[in-house]
Amino acid sequence: MGMETNGIVVIDKPAGITSAKVVAVVKKLLGAKKVGHTGTLDPFATGVMICCLNQATRLARFFLSGHKTYEAVLRLGIDTDTQDSTGTVTSQCEWIEFSENKIRSVLKQFTGTIQQQPPAFSALKHKGVPLYKLARSGQPVRKAARRVQITAIEIRAIELPEIRFVVSCSAGTYIRTLCADIGAALGCGGHLKTLRRIESSGFSIREAISLPSLEAVSASGNVQDCIIDMAGALRNMPVFVADSGLMDKIRFGKPLTDLDMDPDRIDLSGDFFKVVDSENRLLAVVSLNKKDRAYKYNCVFHS
């Protein structure tokens, strides 16, 4: 690719491969030295995966806690050990006759801040070992329940035994656990049949590119067409345009003051803001300790 490309590419992950495999493919196609993603999707799931290239891997932490939106299909009447369609059936219920009002009432119980127990088959670790490895070896470990935020659940179709819905939620929410919990609340059990992430940290499936399309773009030499530059990737972060004096200070890591930053020109309502040059190239991500008015470098970038 010649000069190092820094930025993000939004991938539409296909079913049947791991998130790690997607990263490996992106790295090869784009000739990147480093690639990282900002949120794992299970192999059977599809949809938005944010892949950070080269220096942009340092921005990954700013996307990890962003909200997600998923399209999901809940299959009632069948429980599995993994809470999804890839697992072994553990119980079945033949009676699945619920009114639409009953279904809507139960789903409504899962909106807002709820307690959710992470599944035994997950990438969370116990003493350094992923839970799914322990579960597969017959030593399942249950992590303590934790709070997650379900912003909205919108039912798209009820065709029993299946319910198709869209859910918006905080990072760390397990949709398969949500499906299993809904099935339990209805008294018939259930599991996640299909899952597609359609939004992550403000990036939509509409701006995602498939791996075959990325391969074609790579072959044409027009990879910049599908890469969002680093400043553009931090689309919801307040911005400050640096003059030459501030650029020099950042280049040499010198302390920043109000004289440099002019707080009247910065939106300090959030935790971080980005500093760019006149061509919108990202120079640094900075935060302000509002108590002692001290600025802190969080990331500094050099071209």
Q: Give the residue numbers annotated as catalytic, written as ranges.
A: 42
Q: Tell me the C-alpha distance between 168 and 174, whole Å.
A: 11
Length of the chain: 303
Amino acid at site 285: V
Q: Tell me the C-alpha distance between 52 and 203, whole Å.
A: 13
Strands, E assignment, 77-122? 78-80, 89-92, 112-116
Q: Tell me the C-alpha distance between 78 and 299, whole Å.
A: 48
Q: Tell me the C-alpha distance between 193 and 68, whole Å.
A: 18
Terminal-to-terminal C-alpha distance of the chain: 16
If we measure between CA atoms, which residue out of 248, 257, 259 comes closest to residue 283?
248
Is 90 within 8 Å of 41 (Cβ atoms)?
no
Determine which helix (DSSP H) or strand (DSSP E) holds 178, and give its type and residue range: helix 175-186
Question: Which region holds residue 247: left if phi is over 0, alpha if psi is between -120 and 50, else beta?
Answer: alpha
Question: Which region holds residue 293: left if phi is over 0, alpha if psi is between -120 and 50, else beta?
Answer: left
Dihedral angle of Cα 278, 279, 280, 282, to the nearest 10 degrees: -90
- Joined together, the tokens standing for residue 204 give 């939509």
What is the helix, strand, coil percentage profile of the chain, to 5? 30, 35, 40
Sole residue written with tokens 């959030």 = 270
Amino acid at site 19: S
